[in-house]
Structure 1
Amino acid sequence: MSFIIGVFAVIFDSAKRVLLCHRTDMDLWNLPSGAMEEGETPWVAVVREVEEEVGLVIEVERLLGIYSRPDQNEVAFGFLCGVVGGSLRCSDEADSIEYFEIDQIPRNTNHEQVEALQDAAKQELQATLRLQTEPSPREVYFGKLC
């Protein structure tokens, strides 16, 4: 049995809009995110993933929460991050990148990450621990996984 350990970044601009990227493999917006690689810590993985996916250099400000999907052996670490360099650019994973007002997030945004955005918007200093039981974005988009 293998586990997937994911990471994602919540990045706000000076107007408190959140950065989302549109995936190239499905019609879905999400936070810059990805999977940890062997030998990485979650906080190093999120910095790497954001730079690879959208071209920004970030620093982790704090852990937002840990999100678990035990039915698919997945756990994701969400981090509040700030931009310290780089510039926005599309990649093999993201064909569009935009900042959105929290109340104007596209309808086709990863619903699991919308939960994380709601957690981040609360601006509580305590990290959230959340069991995610709704169908995953892949299940919603592609149908029930075998």
Structure 2
Amino acid sequence: MPTPDFILETRKHIGHALMFLTGVTAVVVDPGGRILLHRRADDGHWATPGGILEPGEQPAAALVREVFEETGVRVVPERVASVVTEPPFTYPNGDRVQFMDIAFRCRPVGGEPRADGDESLDVAWFDPGGLPEMNDRILRRIRHAGEEGPAHFAAPE
């Protein structure tokens, strides 16, 4: 489902006002180092799979659910790669959001890549040196997932 019911209900009360939401992103890396991407149905761009936490849902559980829904691939989150609050964004319908995104590095453990036709138009594995054009936000998450050490976060000023 592209827009969770709790957001639709909240929008009835707040209209297009800014909503602060928690998102999760999966950087799924197979044993050969390839990265799983899906072509989004809403804008046609390639991206890492992910989504919005439902109320009360744990981030890793939401991530596993979203990756399977969007790509047909089952994953195990291995570590948090980054925690970043993104700049506010306005959707074409005027809804304003700001996401705090938790990106996880994951490994695939089953399933077959397939587009769900609802959120994904295509699903494919890509070599890191041959990634399709994507926005900087997605590329930054992929880069952080490839780094060793602690998760990336914006340090206090």
Task: Determine if the alignment matches structure 1 residue 27 to structure 2 residue 37.
Answer: no
Structure 1: segments with no counterpart, 5+ residues: 132-146
Larger radius of gyration: 2
How many pairs align?
Answer: 129
Q: CA deviation at 1:118?
A: 1.2
Report % sequence identity.
33
Moved over 3 A (4+): none
In the alignment, which of 78, 85, 97 is matched to residue 103 of structure 2? 78
Hey, what's the Cα distance between the residues in 1 that align with 2:137 and 2:154?
10
The answer to whether the 8 Å contact 1:65/1:130 transfers is no
Structure 2: segments with no counterpart, 5+ residues: 1-17, 89-96
Tell me the TM-score normalized by structure 1: 0.81
Aligned ranges 1:123-134 → 2 under 5 Å: 124-130=148-154
| CA-based RMSD | 1.6
Q: What does the per-residue CA deviation read over 1:7-54, in whole Å, with 9 as the maximum and x for residues that have no partner?
A: 011111222011110011112100011111111011111011001111
In the alignment, which of 115, 121, 126 is matched to residue 95 of structure 1? 121
Higher mean Cα deviation, 71-80 or 50-59? 71-80
